[in-house]
Every structure is written in structure tokens, then in C-alpha cells.
Amino acid sequence: MRNQTVKAAVLVAGALLLAACGTNKEETGAGGGNQACDQSKGTLVIGVIAPQSGGLSALGLGIKNSAQLAADQANEKCAVKGYKLAVQTEDDQATAQVGAQAATRLSSNANVVGVVGTLNSSVAQSVQPILKGKNIVMVSPANTNPSLTRGAEYGTAPKRGFENYFRVCATDDLQGPFAAKYLVGKAGKKNIAIITDGKTYGKGLAAEFQKQAEKDGAKIAAQGTVGEKDTDFAGVIGTIKGSNPDAVYYGGEYPQAGPLSKQMKDAGLNIPVMGGDGIYDDKFIDLGGKEGDLATSVGAPTDTLPSAKAFVDAYNAKNYKDKFSAYGAFSYDATNAIIASLGKTLGDAGTWGDDKRADLIKNVGEYSAQGATGEIKFDQYGDSTNKLLTVYKVTAGKWAADETGTFGG
């Protein structure tokens, strides 16, 4: 996938790495040294909060690189008059406490105009109020828990809690039922065990799956919980095995789901494991995911979307070490929403300051454009209006798209 004809001169000239010892910060001056651009007013920063280390780093690195790509292209196009854009990436280690520290660092920088992130819904819960306190716009490429935009009573009494928060992906009250429709209706599984990692994302997604699965006639045969750092799943496998499930739905992420699938098979429970976007990564297969396992993910398959071709070509041309993974195209779209809205906020002669933050949030809310993942637009809660989802199946050792659509109730 990597194109060796990368514009090396642009990369070398543009890459400015300011590593800060003792922090998880990596600030990268965007490329795109278009000498014709007026950048005399200085540098504005787009923050990225996502895991850059640890088990979920494959997803977070794709988010970082894709945000960088969008900033590079914006600089080449002189998208924000008078300013250069830089990306400051903070490694949240997929941990709420570390994410909060990252948000605090970013919010102390007056030149941070917005934040792309987070990956994990549980981390977003800690980041949202900190960025809200400084009126900093936040656009997530990957948070899927519906309470982040519509509150705890999102199903019956939705209420927006953070006017500065948006996301470009579908939510779990659509993803869970979409998975249930497939597993019960199409795959014919009627005696399903549910296992979660107990985290905000995993519990919420599994609960939404369960409601629809039972509505469609499936029995939840057994339920179990694993720890975030567990590697031996003999206990939970023993708990569910006696109920003779014909499938397992897993609410969590691939570092646990991959080994769980393998250990189930080794224990004589050779049934499909299905999960959400948290397991949709090649690492799931590398860690033990087996043939026939299933995952839903947000959007349509990036590689096949005509609207994503330019993004995929540009990403590959950059010769990044890491794949764009499940959320790269979404991160690219999230970053472009901030950049375009910033350009609109400042116009041809505006000067950035805290007094511009409210206008920037308003402009992101009104943003509408064709992105790599399709139409990028937000509803009154800050949720994406793009509700597409895809079911992927492990086939011949790779994820293969099996069905793309929307949940219709």
C-alpha cells in the first residue's frame, strides 16, 4: 500500500518535531511549505488526543497520522489566512486519567484551536469537561457511546451536555442493534452469550446489542465480564460454556477479544465471536481471532468508498509507518471540519484569540461538506448525520466486508 513516490522534500521541510521530555506530547509542525501562503500571524495548533502507545496504539496512530495529513494539506492550500497549522499529539494511553492530563495541557495553550479525539468513550468522559471549561471545540473520530452527546437518558430524554463536542461516526445505539440484526436475523444465532470488559464503551455497546437481540427472538444464554488487562480467559469461558451458546457477543476491544476467541476454540467452544468497532483491526486476527468471527464498524469500508480514494492515495503517498486503520478517514474528516470552520471564523483578515472560540464552535456545528467517509454534518446534539455501518467477517485470515447499511429499527 505504501507509495514510494512520496513527496519527500515536503516531508523533510515540513516535519518539525518538538518532543517534550516527561510528557506524552508530540508536536509536529505541519508540512506543506507553500511559500506563497501568508503565515505571518504565527502558528495555530490542532490537538490530537488518542493512544500512541499500548494495546490500542494501532488505532490511535492512524488517527494521529490522518489529522497530520489534513493539516499538511491545509497548509499547502493556505486554508487559514495568515497562519500556519501544527498538530500536537498527546498520548492518552487509552486511560481516562491520562486523557484528562492531556486535555489540561492542551487547554493551557492559547494557540490550540481545537482537539481531534478521543478514541475511547471512557477517555472522552474525562476530556469533555476540561475542554468545555476553556470553550475548545472537540471533534471525535471514534467515540460511539451515545451518552457523550445526548446524556445518560439518551434514549428517552436526550439532552446535550457539551456544546463544544461533536463526532463524525455513528453511535452504539445504532451499532449494537445493527449487529444484533445481523447475528440473529442473518446468521441465525439464537442462543448468545455476552461478555464485556466492563468499560463505558463495551458495556454500553453490549447493552444495546442485547436489547435488539432479545427483541428479535434470541436468548441471552449467559453473561460474563473480563478485566481490561486479562490474558487468561479460562474462567469466563467456563462460565458460559455450560449454556451451549451458538455465538458470543463481546463488548470491548481487540487486545482481549483476539485471545478470547482463540482460547474459546482451544477449549472446544468453536463458535463465532462478534464485537463492535473496538475489535475491528488486523490486530484482532493477529492475537487469535479466527475464521468466521465478526465485527461491526462505523461507516462503509474506506478502501471501497469513491469519496475516500483521494484520502487513501494521499495517506499512502506520505509513507506513514502505520496504517490508517479503522478511524483514519474519520480523523481526517474531523480535522478538516475544524480547519474549514477555523478558516470561516477568521476570514481573510481575522486574528485568533479566545474571543473567537464561540464562533468556531458555532461554525463547526453548521459545517457541511463531502468528506472521505461521506457527508460530514452534525445534528442538534453534535452527532454525525452519517449513520452508515458495516459488518465485517474474518475470511481467509483477513477482515472482509459482508454487509453495509443503516439500522432501521
Cβ contact 341:347 at 8 Å: no
Alpha-carbon distance of 340 to 334, in angstroms, equals: 10
Mean pLDDT of 125-149: 97
Q: Is pLDDT of 23 > 90?
A: no
CATH number at residue 189: 3.40.50.2300
Cβ contact 32:76 at 8 Å: yes
Residue in 193, 199, 196 with CA at minimum distance from that of residue 213: 193
Instruction: Choose between 3 and 53: higher pLDDT.
Output: 53
Same domain (yes/no): 223, 190: yes
Same domain (yes/no): 119, 257: no
Q: What's the domain range around 113?
A: 42-170+302-378
The torsion region of residue 343 among left (phi > 0), alpha (psi -120 to 50) and beta comes to alpha
Mean pLDDT of 338-353: 98
pLDDT digits (tens, 9 = 90+) for 346-402: 999 999 999 999 999 999 999 999 999 999 999 999 999 999 999 999 999 999 999
pLDDT digits (tens, 9 = 90+) for 303-331: 888 989 999 999 999 999 999 999 999 99
- For residue 36, the model assigns a pLDDT of 85
Which pTM does this prediction carry?
0.87
Which cell numbers in the block locate residue 243?
449454556
The length of the chain is: 409
pLDDT digits (tens, 9 = 90+) for 184-228: 999 999 999 999 999 999 999 999 999 999 999 999 999 999 998
Same domain (yes/no): 164, 48: yes
> Sorting pLDDT into bands at 50, 70 and 90, what band is 229?
confident
Alpha-carbon distance of 43 to 340, in angstroms, equals: 16
- For residue 4, the model assigns a pLDDT of 31
Same domain (yes/no): 52, 131: yes
- Tell me: cis bond preceding 23? Omega within 30 of 0 counts: no
Same domain (yes/no): 280, 320: no
Same domain (yes/no): 158, 237: no
The kind and range of the H/E element at 57 are helix 57-76
- For residue 19, the model assigns a pLDDT of 35
Bridge partners for 223 per DSSP: 194
pLDDT digits (tens, 9 = 90+) for 61-95: 999 999 999 999 999 999 999 999 999 999 999 99
Q: Is pLDDT of 7 > 70?
A: no
- The total of structural domains in the chain comes to 2
